[in-house]
Homo-oligomer: A and B are copies of this chain.
Amino acid sequence: MPVPAPKWTRQPELRPRQIMAAALDVFAAKGFERATMDEVAEAAGVTKGTIYLYFRNKLDLFIQTLRTHVEGVTDLLPSVRVAAGEDVEAGARLLAKALLDVLMTPTMTKVFHLFIAEVKQIPELRQAYIEEWLPQAGLRIATLLEEGVRSGALRPLDPVITARAIMGMFSAFVLTQEVFGMKDITPMPLDEIANTIVTISFRGVLAS
């Protein structure tokens, strides 16, 4: 007599990732408040109670989901390496393209939007941004710029403002193309975006 298939199996190692993956999708699709724990559970293939074995409450699930996926992304970033060579501008183009590839990832897009949407309501997010994510990204760029200014290679612009302006160009495309859904209406090749951003950043729009 065949043993009937078990209704469920123990997966204590797997469950958290499984749940957070589902949570990211559901939260991204409906927003934090509109998403229900039942939807997350169903998307994860478990029942609601199971989520509470691994996460204290909905907010905890949300925060951990974002943190984990951000880490997953920043793990990719080392591959975004400066091709530090003779031609800085050419290296920057490669870099910009690599960065855009990461930012436009489905995962990153979702994280990005959720973060912007909820940062004002959730102090933990703001704190993570200020204490972890901001230094990892913005300050690194600002430092590079500062050195460039000091060496005379770059104009004497405020490095923090400049860094933020440049990052703003990147995020503009994440927001409009992916979040606002413009990629179907005004499709743009990623490398053309990267090239344009780099050209503007280095040399501006004026014909020389």
**Interface residues, chain A, with chain B CB atoms under 8 Å away:** 30-34, 113, 116-121, 126, 129-130, 145, 148, 152-155, 157-158, 160-162, 164-173, 175-176, 179-182, 185-186, 188, 192-193, 196-197, 199-208
Contact = CB atoms under 8 A, between A and B. Distances in A.
A206 B205 contact: no
A161 B34 contact: no
A155 B207 contact: yes
B202 A202 contact: no
Q: Interface majority SS on A: helix, strand, loop or mixed?
A: helix
Contacts of A186: 160
A90 to B, nearest CB: 13
A172 B181 contact: no
Given A200-B157, A205-B201, A180 B126 contact: yes
A169 B113 CA distance: 17
Given A116-B116, A172-B171, A204 B196 contact: no
Given A121-B34, A126-B181, A207 B152 contact: yes
Nearest to A31: B121
Given A203-B203, A205-B202, A165 B155 contact: no
Most buried by B among A116, A180, A181: A180
6 contacts: A31-B118, A33-B34, A34-B121, A116-B117, A130-B182, A153-B206
